[in-house]
Amino acid sequence: MQTTYIARQAIFNRNQEAIGYELLFRNCPENNFPELDLNVATSKLIIENHIHGDIDALCMGKRSFINFTEHCLINKYPLLFDKDKVVIELVGNNKPTARFIKILQYYYDKGYKIALKEYDLDSGWDDFFPLLYLIKVDLEVINPKRLTPIADRIRPFDVKLMADKVETKFQLQSLAQIGFEYFQGWFYQVPEVIQGEALAPIKTQMLHLISETFNTPFNFEKISKVISQDVNLSVSLLKLVNNVSTGSQVEITSLKQAAAYLGEEKLKQFVTILALSKLTSDQTDEVAKQALVTAKLMNDLSNENAFKEVHDFAFITGILSAVEVLLNRPIEQIMETMPLATPIESALVKQEGLLGELLSFTTGYITGKSDVVEEQLQAYSINEDFIQKAYVSASQWCNDLNI
């Protein structure tokens, strides 16, 4: 486990109602932006607080305003977000270019809201007005009165003006008269640093995954196999599927199905972001190792007649058997963020159904609950020597992964 930090600052309308939250990367409890490449910062924010965490909950159901560089836009990172829940804030752009406007047109056509964060009054930005949702003005850089002659050019496109770094009530009143509709600054709220936990993927598996992802032809089966060997990657992939499946109910029964559902492009994004954000570790949580053993043992046991009916669900259920401990969140909350088939969810939350019985049996055997194991050995006519050999085999398999 590794500690993650994120700063959240509310954005208000004229009625002092929060309409969204800007999310800013932090790498410690101190409330300041670290000396870090903007591309890396955005990637870390996405992976640590969107895939591993829950940005929708963090923003209390309102829009999240997230900084994206041109590099991030080219690599289509915003597509990992529901267009109705995010505002793309443009950062790191020194000047407007024809190439950049084509990039923004792509997101505009897909229905994303776009905010120009570093507006410098350059007339070249006028060509961007038809694509913008709002223009964010830094009051420490630009005197808002300088916007008066520009307001007429902005008005036909219904672009909102937002004032950043509002410090006093007097500023607020004068800004509203000029035409500002949204406000942000310490007068309203100091950025709030929120601490959380993120999982650290296994370094060797990450390298393997990157290699496999960019092989030609693209092979979903091989990629899902690599992902299945890392609990952290498996959880992240499933949460990512949930994030992009807005408007349709998707029941995932295997990691291969999850990878195929995302498609080649989004799966490559997933891997690229993980690599760029450097979420790798030389150490692996013992809990994650036990989950791998559980998954392999469940998979092998489900080859037997008693559990064949749930074979397709066995491995992924075992992988997720320790997710509550790994994420340090109640299993019910976790299930809300993951699009799992009903038998898997029932097994994980309540240990119900045949899959729940298999999970209970497997974890009972691994943790030495002899009374539970004895009953289930008889109930499902499983030979004790067979399960012992299967357990040794599963443990060896996990050990051979070199994690």
Residues 50 and 147 in one domain: yes
**What is the per-residue pLDDT for 196?**
58
- Which domain CATH number covers 326? 1.10.3210.10
Higher pLDDT, 106 or 279: 106
Domain end (from 196, 213, 237): 196
Helix/strand/coil for 179: coil
Higher pLDDT, 102 or 403: 102
Q: How sure is the predictor about 104, in pLDDT bands with cuts at 50, 70 and 90?
A: very high
**What is the per-residue pLDDT for 356?**
92
Express each pLDDT in 196-234 by its tens digit. 555 455 444 555 565 566 566 778 888 888 778 777 778
Domain end (from 196, 214, 240): 196
Residues 15 and 132 in one domain: yes
CA distance 367 to 74: 48
Q: How sure is the predictor about 107, in pLDDT bands with cuts at 50, 70 and 90?
A: very high
Residues 178 and 314 in one domain: no
Mean pLDDT of 295-324: 85
Residues 14 and 100 in one domain: yes
CA distance 214 to 199: 24
Residues 247 and 338 in one domain: yes
Residues 305 and 292 in one domain: yes
CB 301 within 8 A of CB 314: yes
Which amino acid is present at 182? Y
Task: Sort 351 into a burial class: Cβ within 10 Å, 0-12 / 13-18 / 19+.
Answer: middle
Residues 206 and 183 in one domain: no
Token representation of residue 97:
């270019």
For residue 61, pLDDT beyond 60: yes
Mean pLDDT of 124-149: 89
**What is the per-residue pLDDT for 2?**
54
Domain count, the chain: 2
For residue 309, give the nearest of 341, 375, 355 by alpha carbon.
Answer: 355
Residues 300 and 370 in one domain: yes
Express each pLDDT in 394-403 by its tens digit. 888 877 765 5
Give percent of the chain with pLDDT exceeding 90: 14
Mean pLDDT of 144-158: 84
Q: By residue range, what is the domain housing residue 42?
A: 2-196
CA distance 403 to 396: 12
pTM of the model: 0.57
Token representation of residue 255:
């990691």
DSSP string, 116-183: E-S----GGGGGGGGG-SEEEEETTTS-GGGGHHHHHHHGGGTPEEEEES---HHHHHHHHHHT--EE
Residues 239 and 133 in one domain: no
Residues 167 and 208 in one domain: no
Residues 238 and 381 in one domain: yes
Residues 179 and 67 in one domain: yes
Q: How sure is the predictor about 375, in pLDDT bands with cuts at 50, 70 and 90?
A: confident
Tokens 């009143």: give the residue. 173
Residue 329 DSSP symbol: S
- Which domain CATH number covers 191? 3.20.20.450
Give Cα separations from 175 to 4, 156, 183, 184 (angstroms).
36, 20, 9, 12
Mean pLDDT of 339-360: 88
